[in-house]
Amino acid sequence: AQSVTQLDSQVPVFEEAPVELRCNYSSSVSVYLFWYVQYPNQGLQLLLKYLSGSTLVKGINGFEAEFNKSQTSFHLRKPSVHISDTAEYFCAVSEGLGNEKLTFGTGTRLTIIP
Amino acid sequence: NAGVMQNPRHLVRRRGQEARLRCSPMKGHSHVYWYRQLPEEGLKFMVYLQKENIIDESGMPKERFSAEFPKEGPSILRIQQVVRGDSAAYFCASSRPPVKGYQETQYFGPGTRLLVL
């Protein structure tokens, strides 16, 4: 069975500062990895995904993430945050074809301080 | 190109009533997934459907919950005899069939927030 751990439930960051949101996973097979963002009272929007290839993945809104197989991590980063980045961020994994369901972490609430 | 549509956005039911949640996938998407988000928690997978076929229902509670995705019309998540513990946000996601051996991206709807009184 696969699982996802997001250790930081809340992360406050000053505007224009860098941020890293941590995500670790466990799985007995190769996985696909995703980061989604959820704004208040809205659905989830895909930020980026890792399926294969380059371990550094670039997404929307200036976010990027790096897949580290040896550390089973997929941390999300942004070099300079904006007020509009205030939201809940979810890391998710799936085992790919034949088992496409997503397993989510508990989320990290990113708060940008002006 | 409209996104995934869900209705109603908010639903209030009394204990013992039935709740019906609808999901219309994006155009060209034939796969639908339902997830539940309890307060202060992440999303939990419930069921995965294709047209007229349940692919994976490993996350569905054994009783009172059912889902369908008919040939025509939206996917329906049905909860019979609701209890207070069913209060949650229910999200639907849709995707295209997998091509080139890769999993397709799941696109999420805005969710239905169910409140059981």
Decide if B49 contacts B82 (C-beta within 8 A).
no
Decide if A102 contacts A61 (C-beta within 8 A).
no
Decide if B41 contacts B66 (C-beta within 8 A).
no
Q: What percent of chain B has pLDDT over 70?
A: 97
Helix, strand, coil tally for chain B in percent (to 5): 5, 50, 50
Q: Give the tens place of pLDDT for each residue, A60-93.
A: 999 999 999 999 999 999 999 999 999 999 999 9
Q: What percent of chain B has pLDDT over 90?
A: 82
The span from the CA of A50 to the CA of A35, in Å, is 9
**pLDDT at residue B101, rounded to an integer:** 65
Is the CB of A17 inside 8 Å of chain B's CB atoms?
Answer: no
Test mutation, B10, B36, B38, B43, chain A, max A CBs within 10 A: B43
State the average pLDDT for chain B: 92
Q: Is A32 helix (H, G, I), strand (E, B) or coil?
A: strand
Is the CB of B42 inside 8 Å of chain A's CB atoms?
Answer: yes
Bridging pattern class, strands A24-26 and A108-113: unpaired
Decide if B44 contacts B36 (C-beta within 8 A).
yes
**pLDDT at residue B100, rounded to an integer:** 66
The amino acid sitting at A34 is: F
pLDDT band at A2 (very low <50, low <70, confident <90, very high): confident
The amino acid sitting at A111 is: T
Answer yes or no: do A104 and B42 touch at CB < 8 A: yes
The amino acid sitting at A3 is: S
The span from the CA of B28 to the CA of B25, in Å, is 8
Closest to A45 in 3D by CA, of B31, B38, B42, B110 = B110
DSSP state letter for A89: E
Beta bridge pairs of residue A90: A36
User: Is pLDDT at B1 greater than 70 in this prediction?
Assistant: no
**pLDDT at residue A52, rounded to an integer:** 82
Answer yes or no: do A101 and B103 touch at CB < 8 A: no
Residues 52-91, chain B, touching A (beta carbon < 8 A): 56, 58-59, 91
Q: Give the tens place of pLDDT for each residue, B62-106.
A: 999 999 999 999 999 999 999 999 999 999 999 988 776 677 889
Beta bridge pairs of residue B4: none
Q: How many CB atoms lie within 10 A of CB A5?
A: 14
User: Is pLDDT at A37 greater than 80 in this prediction?
Assistant: yes
pLDDT band at A29 (very low <50, low <70, confident <90, very high): confident
pLDDT band at B37 (very low <50, low <70, confident <90, very high): very high
